[in-house]
Amino acid sequence: MSEFRKITIALEQGFKDDSVRISIGDRLVHWLDHVKTRAKIGVAHTLELSLPAGDDPVQVELPSKDVRISIEPGMGEACYWGVSVSPNGKAMYVKRSVEPFAYV
């Protein structure tokens, strides 16, 4: 029987009416359209993923901007990930936490 790890991903700063593709390894798990950061709370969208056992990275991509980040799941306890787009829109970065973010 395979084990799964629950991860909460928050799409945070820098999303501007974007399409967002989220995959685990080569498998598409979510496609979101019109993702926009809400300025008052600093988050655009949150979702939960069940990561299968293994080392497949989680990929978050903005296909129309050709921007992506590949996140290695690691074995740590951090199960809350915040993903943001850089101010210039050309890169993405992630922060990890063992505690839920304030808006989750």
pLDDT at 5: 86
Neighbours of 5 (CB within 10 A): 13
The residue ranges of every structural domain in the chain are 4-97
pLDDT at 2: 57
Given the candidates 2.60.40.2890, 3.10.180.10, 3.30.450.20, 1.10.1240.10, the CATH classification of the domain at 4-97 is 2.60.40.2890
Distance CA 61, CA 32 (A): 10
pLDDT at 1: 45
Burial 54-70 (b: 16+ CB within 10 A, else e): eebebbbbbeeeebebe
- For the chain (length 104 residues), average pLDDT per consecutive 10? 82 97 95 96 94 89 96 84 95 94 72
